[in-house]
Structure 1
Amino acid sequence: MGRISVVTGANQGLGFALAEGLAQGLTAADVVYLTGRDAARIEAAAGRIASPVAEVRTRVLDVTEDAAVAAFADELRQRHGGVDIVFSNAAARLTPDTPWAELVGPFVDTNNLGTTRMLRSFSPILRPGGRLLVVASDFGTLRSLPASLHGRFDTETMSLDDVDAAMLAWRDAVIAGTAAAEGWPEWINIPSKVGQVAAVRVLARERRERDKADATLVAAVCPGLVDTAASRPWFENMSEAQTPEAAAAALLRLALGPVRPETYGELVQFGEVRPWR
């Protein structure tokens, strides 16, 4: 049976590079699902993949819709018996000069609740030896938050519902204008990334023993600074930024290579673990 892969947010940037890398690195018996919210854009993206070996299929998927994510996972379970590689990569874009209170709602719905929707729906159908990888950033550790907030992310006791509740409470504080008084960082990408990595850690805690037995990997991944349309407005100097193709390389090694036990449940950047604390 061929391997089945899914990449969310795959019509451009890093997501496209991941889908293309899988299509080139897998075999003719394998299938890569390139997903996004707009049918025309994902079809165009699939047509841009250079020299694919695996079969590339497109699928409209909006990770802000509970039913859509669950239905897609169920479809893959029925059609293929499960999934082997998942890159949860969909992210809402931040725009300069727009108040955080206007951006934080869709940002949390896509980046955080979208992540936990993917984890809930796709972890049960992840086949033994599979890879479930959430694209985050190096902001996603407790070192990015003041110590007074660390207790809100006790991943040794939390459930995914608890992670969602923490992110919704932070969202509401941003909207109400009380987030700074509670100690939250001004840059809303920081709490969001911490929430994504926390969700991965919670799921990994629940699955660790069974995944260890069959070399399955659940992890968060940090690609580093990538030169994309989403990142350019925030950086004056992009000279050290990677192309999406270069940034995808380390992530694809995690997806396609052997599992290193120390990376399980952790945030991994360029093959190295970024400590949670």
Structure 2
Amino acid sequence: MITTPKVALVTGATQGLGLALVEGLAARMAPQDTVYLTGRDVDRVTQAVGAMPGGGAQVRGELLDVADPEAAGRLAARLRERHQGVDIVFNNAVMRVGPDDDPRRIVDAYTEVNNFGTTRMLRAFAPLLRDGGRLIVVASSLGRLHHLPAELHDRFDGLTSLDEVDEQVAAWRDAVKDGSARAGAWPGFVNIPSKIGQVAAVRALAGRRRERDTERGILLAAVCPGMMNTPTSALWWDVGDAPSPAEAARALLNLALDPVDPAHYGELVRDGQVLPWSPTARTRTATSQ
């Protein structure tokens, strides 16, 4: 039986978890398949591709800065022309923030990558998914309403479009910039509202695509890789005993390559378990219906 070669893409893939995802995909996919390693610096992309172990799928580099409003769409158009579709997309690009960073100074760049970059990728690549495809947003267990005061839950709960998500993220961003967020109920750690915005984006798009995606065996989900031993995490926490990016990538690769569990669709998943979006929702296991 002749099968169509598969195509995978990882954003933010020149280091850390993104690089580990590319390596893991290439190792587990077939020689006729292609994995795109993307990043915003051409030299780092070239070096990362050159350092890939041999065997498995072909790894190709592509320049992609998700903070550029047009970049995701341009790359999606190129891959449509080359391959007529994609099978696996990991939205992993992230701007990291340290304890000494002033949120008011970095929030513009931070949201352009982490939030608007996410919705740009969802808009550009969801239409390219082939039957059985996976579109996975790397987020965090912080991306749940549990970590917001109840008075702010309606900002992100029940959103029905990516435009609505962008509007709420922009409103929070502007409140950080003018200082009103600090005076109000918003958490001071910008990672919390940002991750909630990412998960809200997945939920909003899933609400529109669920029926058709279910028929086609497509998975759209957010994923929490857990704490990792990386230099950035070490600025905030003791990560001496935390998994390496390669170890953390295993559960994400299983989500991308193993048979789809319908319970995962539109949800935030960690180690095969669906994490509840709100404090009133029940935790579901991967086999729950």
TM-score calculated relative to the size of structure 1: 0.97
Aligned to 2:90: 87
Q: State how 1:11-160 maps to structure 2 within 5 Å.
A: 11-155=14-158, 157-160=159-162
How much has 1:93 moved relative to structure 2?
1.4
Q: Partners of 1:16 and 1:210 in 2: how far apart?
A: 32
Q: Partners of 1:262 and 1:192 in 2: how far apart?
A: 24
Aligned to 1:173: 175
- Secondary structure, counterpart of 1:133 in structure 2: strand
Question: How many residue pairs end up in the alignment?
Answer: 275
> Which shifted more, 184-193 or 38-47?
38-47
Q: Partners of 2:211 and 2:194 in 1: how far apart?
A: 28
Q: Partners of 2:273 and 2:233 in 1: how far apart?
A: 23
Q: State how 1:198-237 maps to structure 2 within 5 Å.
A: 198-235=200-237, 237=238
TM-score calculated relative to the size of structure 2: 0.93
Q: Partners of 2:109 and 2:230 in 1: how far apart?
A: 20
Q: Partners of 1:160 and 1:145 in 2: how far apart?
A: 20
Aligned to 1:269: 270
Q: Partners of 1:144 and 1:96 in 2: how far apart?
A: 19
Contact between 1:11 and 1:36, CA under 8 Å: does it hold in 2?
A: yes
Change (3 A) 1:52 1:231: farther
Contact between 1:86 and 1:133, CA under 8 Å: does it hold in 2?
A: yes
How much has 1:181 moved relative to structure 2?
3.0
Q: Partners of 1:150 and 1:52 in 2: how far apart?
A: 47
- Secondary structure, counterpart of 1:114 in structure 2: helix
| Alignment deviations for residues 12-55 of structure 1 (CA, whole Å, 9 cap, x no partner) | 00000001100111001100000000111011111222233101
Q: Partners of 2:235 and 2:240 in 1: how far apart?
A: 14
**Structure 1: which amino acid aligns with 2:169?**
M
How much has 1:233 moved relative to structure 2?
1.3
| Alignment deviations for residues 98-148 of structure 1 (CA, whole Å, 9 cap, x no partner) | 211111111100000000000000001111110000000000111111110
Q: CA RMSD in A?
A: 1.0
Aligned to 1:186: 188
- Secondary structure, counterpart of 2:164 in structure 1: helix
Q: Partners of 2:183 and 2:127 in 1: how far apart?
A: 39
- Residues 1:197 and 2:199 aligned together: yes
Contact between 2:40 and 2:63, CA under 8 Å: does it hold in 1?
A: yes
**Structure 1: which amino acid aligns with 2:20?**
A
Structure 2: state its 5+ residue gaps: 279-289
Q: Partners of 1:14 and 1:152 in 2: how far apart?
A: 30
- Residues 1:242 and 2:243 aligned together: yes
- Secondary structure, counterpart of 1:199 in structure 2: helix
Contact between 2:160 and 2:205, CA under 8 Å: does it hold in 1?
A: no
Contact between 1:136 and 1:196, CA under 8 Å: does it hold in 2?
A: yes
- Secondary structure, counterpart of 1:149 in structure 2: helix
How much has 1:231 moved relative to structure 2?
1.5
How much has 1:164 moved relative to structure 2?
0.5
**Sequence identity, in percent?**
53
- Secondary structure, counterpart of 2:167 in structure 1: helix
Contact between 1:20 and 1:52, CA under 8 Å: does it hold in 2?
A: no
